[in-house]
Structures are given as structure tokens and as C-alpha cells.
Structure 1
Amino acid sequence: MIRYPYLPDGATISITAPSSGVRKELEELVKQAVDRMESKGFRTVIGETVWTQEKAKSAPALIRAEELNNMLQDEEIDLIFPPWGGELLIEILEYLEFENVPPKWILGYSDTSVLLLALTLKTGIATAHGTNLVDLRGEQSDPTTSMWHTVLQTKHGETVNQYSSENYQKKWQHDNPTPWVFHLTERTKWKSISDGPITVKGRLLGGCVDVIRHLIGTPYGDIATFRKDFINNEPIIWYFENCDLSTTDLRRSLVQMKYAGWFENCYGILFGRSPANQPVENYNIEDVYEDLAQDLGIPIIYDIDCGHVPPQITFINGASAEVIVEDGQGTVIQSFN
């Protein structure tokens, strides 16, 4: 059975950097986000790892793990919210005390998705794949991003609906800040390999392909045991986003997932918009999706609101979901049961 945390009013948010910390010249981004959270009535606690960054990580693995373990086990903390992702979160997994983790929300994406997926698979505690803390530093938040709060305040037994964005951001313009942080200029259109309306149902699992693929074959990526112990072998909907992979590297990763049994009893796969997906010898991203659809015989939906091309829907690992795509628009209905 999946255990769902709940975010109360006036919650305490703990900010730690289990992957990358913040260089001195970027500290203001975190301070702005913290101020924004506190102005909305949250209490914040900031870990020491947030303010350090060297050799592609905020601190050595043991230090990052100790800070995270302390925050996970602190009963006064309701949400753990890293500033952003990074590169080497996977180093800390062996030091995390999964058996001592009570249900509380962890929210983020990119490298943070390694922690999210591993925690849900090991413990059955739901985790939230969505916005990073620094992306909430703006005076306002777009309707898609801002749903993170509503989703995390959904109670066990309740349902929450989210909808595809109207527009997405084509590229980052850090030298041209807006009240919303993002520059949402391009019309959003969810797509699929097959024609016509599509509806898929199942338990959600996913994250950034670049990093969660490295959980395959480890104790932190045991999909078969998760399905048996926590969801009674219900079907799965996978959602993925690609940060840096070429089309052939993405294809290799997906084939490995298939060989490892990750797609057994999978009823559909969702792919976020990507800044990567570089074609190799005319093998483009649509070819990857078509090959996967032929391999598995399931719906493949792509260019959804997920990942490094914002805004993004808040997906809950472990939640029951119904995903509906019609005429380029999407609806994600998540039930906390």
C-alpha cells in the first residue's frame, strides 16, 4: 500500500542539497525563493550543504546523506525541497536510512528524481516530481507550476486534477527575468504515436532518464518487488524526461529498462519536452518513440509538461493516475489511494 504524506498549512520546509549546492554568485536565487516561501506562510530550515559546491556536488556523500537523514527523521519537517538537481545524488543512496523514513514530501526533478524514485520503490512512500525550489522565486507562478501546493495538500483517498499548460518555455533567459521566472512563449501540444484520443490508467513512476537508469540492477531500482509489495501488481504508467541524452543513448537506456523488466505490466509511457534528443544519423526522437511503441504495444505520449523545459505538472510516484490526451491537450487525474 502506498503511503501519502500531507502538507499542512504553515508547513515547515527543509532545504538541503543532496546533489548540487549553490555557488556563491547564485546564492541570491535561493534567498529569493526562501523569502517567497516565508511570505506565503511557510517556515524554512536551510541545511549547510545548500551553500557549498565543489567537484560537481555540494559535499562528500556521507555529509550529504547525514544532513538528509536528519531532515527525513525530523518530525517537525513536512517537506524536503532541494534548490535544484545536479549530477551525483546516486552516491548517497547507500548511506540513507530508508527503514527510518516517515511519510513526508520530497519535491524536485532532474537529479533529485533518483532520490524520489528510490525512496518510493524501497518504502512505498509517495514522492513528488515537480518544480525546483529556485523556480518558485518569482513574484507570481504560472497555473501549471503553482499546482505543486494543491497536489501536496491532497489527502489520502482524495483526487487531484491537473491540465496541460497553455504555453511552454523554449529557452532560458536568465538575463531577462520575469515576475514568473519562466518565459512561456511557445504553444503547448501534447502528442502521441497513435491517432485519436488516448486514455491510460495505472500507478505513476518516473523521473529523469539520464540518472534513474543507473538504478537498474541495484537494490534501489527493484521494480518487481515494489509492484508485489506496494501496488498489488497494478499496471504502471511511466513518465520520463531527458536532460542531455542523444536519441541513440535514450534508445539504449529504454531497451535496457525493457530487458530489466521495468516495463512489465506497463500500460503507457509519457515523455516530457526535452532540450536534448539530438538525432544521430537521422535517427530522431519520433523514431525512438515509434520503436518503443512497437516493442511494447502500448501508448506513447510525448511533449508533456515534465522536466527541463518548463512548466511542469507535479507527478506523484506511486499514485493511481488516469492520463487523457485529446486534440493536443492533456489531463492528469491522480488519486491518492
Structure 2
Amino acid sequence: MITYPSLEKGTTIGVTAPSSGLSDELHPLLNQAMERMEKEGYKVVCGKTPWTQHKAKSADAKVRAAEFNDMMKGQDIDIIIPPWGGELLIEMLPFVDYSIKKPKWILGYSDISVLLLAITLTTGMATAHGTNLIDLRGEETDAITAMWETVLSVPEGDSVLQHSSRKYQEKWDHENPSSHVYHLTEKTEWKTVSGQNEQIKGRLLGGCIDVIRHLVGTPFGHVEGFKKEHIPGEPLIWYLENCELNTADLRRSLVQMKLAGWFDGCSGILFGRSAANEPVGGYTVEDVYQDLAKELQIPIIYDIDCGHMPPQVTLINGAWAEVEVSGGKGTVLQHFKP
């Protein structure tokens, strides 16, 4: 059984940095984001860790975990949205309190996906892979990103439909900020290895492959135990996005996940757009996808709205999903099924 938190407009957002915080010169970005959330009707409580950054992390692992645990326990916090990702969130996992008394949404991506996946696998509580707080600082929010509120407000037992974007951002242009942060200039096209329309169904799990691969073989990456306890007999849909890996490293990571049994009972895999995927010796990312599809004998959909080339749909770890691709367009229907 999966437990789903619930979001109501006007509730309190807790801001903590389980991975990277912000150096002094970037503090205005955090202030802008919190002010924007307050203008949208939310209350905001910010911890100490978002304001500090030293040696690739916001603070010591125990300090980060303690602040996160306090926000999860605090009655005055309803949802936790870190400012952004980073590099070393995995350090704090042993110090996280997994005895969740009140389910709360945790929303983010990149290195935050380590925490999201670990919590869902360990507790059966749904977590939300989507925008981070800093990217909500604009005067406007694009339609795809803005769906985070709609998705997280869905009651248990109900469903929510999201569509692929019309355009995506190829690269960041911080020198020329837009009203909604992103510069959406390139035409979006969801693709399939088969070259045909595809439909897949299953329970969603995933995140940034650069970092969640390191959960393999740890107490926080017990996929088989999660399946037996929380979703017995149901297939998985993995969604993965690549931040920095070349194609050989991506392939090694996928093979490791396969050998660890993470893809057992998988009905399909979704890959997000990526500015990485540098070919090695002529081995392209399309080759990687084709090899994996052949080995697993499942559909693979790629270049979806997920990850470091925004915008991205909000994907719920643990939710039952029906994903369809037709003519380069995609839909994700998520059921908040216990």
C-alpha cells in the first residue's frame, strides 16, 4: 500500500537544504522564491541550511538530517521543498528518521531524488519528483511546471493527467532572465525506441540516474522489498534522467541496476531529455536505449519532460501511471492508488 500526502493552498512550505545550500551571492534567488510563494498564498518557514554552502554541501550530514527530520515532525510544516539539488545528499540518509508520523510531500529533483526514492522505498510514502523552489521564483510559471500544485493536491484515490510540453529549454541563459525563469525555445518531441506509439502502465519510481544508482546494494535501495510490502504483483515504470554521465557510464549504471534486480517486473522505462549523453567511441545514447530495450524486452520512451532540461512534469514515486506516446506527444495519467 502507498500512502499519499495532501496539499492545500495556503499551507506552510518548509525550506531545507539536504544537499546544497546557497552561497552569499545567491541568497537573493532564495529570497525571491520565498517571496513568490508567499504572494501565491503560502506561508514559508526556512531553516538554516539553505543559507550556507561549504565544500559541496550545505552543512554536515547530521545537521542536514536533523533539520529535515524536524520539518517532517513539525506540525507547522505541510510540505518540504528544497531550494535545489547538489552533490552529496547520500551522506545524510543514515541519519534520516524514517518513522513518518504525518505524511508530507517532499518535492524536488536532481540530487534530491536520492532522498525521494529512499523514502518511498523505505516507508511506502509517495514523494514528488518535479520542480525545485528556486525555479518557482519567476513572476509567472509555465503551464507544465505549474502543474506541481494540481498534482500534489489530488486526493488519494483520484487521478491527474499531464501533457507533454510544447517547447523546452535547451540551455540556461541567466544573463537574460525571463518572467517564468525558463527560456523555452526548442520543440518538444517524446520518442520511442520502437519508433511506434507506445502505452505502458505501472507504479512509478525513479530520479536522476547519476545519484540514485548509488542506492543499489544499500539499505535504502531495497526495490524488491518495497515491491513485496507495498505493491505486491504490480509492475514498475522507471523514469530516469541523466545530468552528467557519458554514454558508457550511463550504460554501466543501467547494467548495474539490471543486475541488482531493479528492472525485474518492469513494464517500461522513461528517459528524460539530457544535455549530457556524450557518445563514447561512437556509442550513442540511442544505442544505449536500443540495447536496454532488446535485453529487457520492454518499451522505452525517451526525451520526456523530466530532469535538467526543463520544463518537467511532476512524477509521483509510488503512484500508478499510464503513459502514452503518439506522434511525438505524450501524456502521463497518474492514479493515487493506495
Interval containing the TM-score (normalised by the shorter chain): over 0.9
State the match for 2:72 in structure 1.
Answer: 72
Matched, 1:89 2:93: no
Matched, 1:274 2:274: yes
State the match for 2:168 in structure 1.
Answer: 168
State the match for 2:303 in structure 1.
Answer: 303
Distance 1:196 1:178 in 2: 36
- Residue deviations 1:261-286, cap 9 Å, x none? 00000000000000100000000100
State the match for 2:201 in structure 1.
Answer: 201
Distance 1:328 1:111 in 2: 29
Superposed CA RMSD: 0.6
The one-letter amino acid paired with 2:293 is: A
The list of structure 1 runs, each at least 4 consecutive aligned residues, that deviate by more than 3 angstroms after superposition, is none
State the match for 1:215 in structure 2.
Answer: 215
Aligned partner of residue 184 in structure 1, secondary structure: coil
> Aligned runs of 1:187-336 on 2, under 5 Å?
187-336=187-336
Matched, 1:38 2:50: no
The one-letter amino acid paired with 1:299 is: P
Shift of 1:256: 0.3
Distance 2:38 2:102 in 1: 24
Aligned partner of residue 240 in structure 2, secondary structure: strand
State the match for 2:10 in structure 1.
Answer: 10
State the match for 2:106 in structure 1.
Answer: 106
Aligned partner of residue 17 in structure 1, secondary structure: coil
State the match for 2:186 in structure 1.
Answer: 186
Shift of 1:101: 4.7
Aligned partner of residue 99 in structure 1, secondary structure: coil
State the match for 2:27 in structure 1.
Answer: 27
Distance 2:239 2:137 in 1: 26
What TM-score, normalized by structure 1, do the two folds share? 0.99
What TM-score, normalized by structure 2, do the two folds share? 0.99
Distance 1:29 1:303 in 2: 29
- Residue deviations 1:95-132, cap 9 Å, x none? 01102453100000000000000000000000000001
Q: Which runs of 5+ in 1 are unaligned?
A: none
State the match for 1:132 in structure 2.
Answer: 132
Q: Percent identity?
A: 62
Shift of 1:78: 1.0
- Residue deviations 1:192-235, cap 9 Å, x none? 10132110000000000000000000010000000000011300
Aligned partner of residue 160 in structure 1, secondary structure: strand
Distance 1:142 1:43 in 2: 22
The one-letter amino acid paired with 1:105 is: W
The one-letter amino acid paired with 1:217 is: G
Distance 1:102 1:303 in 2: 35
Aligned partner of residue 98 in structure 1, secondary structure: coil
- Residue deviations 1:128-176, cap 9 Å, x none? 0000100010011111000000000000010000000000001000000
Distance 2:288 2:160 in 1: 31
Distance 1:33 1:171 in 2: 21
The one-letter amino acid paired with 1:17 is: A
The one-letter amino acid paired with 2:109 is: Y
Distance 2:75 2:105 in 1: 12
Distance 2:64 2:304 in 1: 32
The one-letter amino acid paired with 1:272 is: G
The one-letter amino acid paired with 1:311 is: P
Distance 2:78 2:176 in 1: 34
Q: Which runs of 5+ in 2 are unaligned?
A: none
Count of residues in Structure 1 that have an aligned counterpart in Structure 2: 337
The one-letter amino acid paired with 1:51 is: W
Matched, 1:153 2:157: no
Shift of 1:77: 1.0
Shift of 1:247: 0.2
The one-letter amino acid paired with 1:32 is: Q
State the match for 2:61 in structure 1.
Answer: 61
Distance 2:26 2:233 in 1: 45
Distance 2:102 2:78 in 1: 10
Shift of 1:182: 0.4
Distance 1:153 1:238 in 2: 23
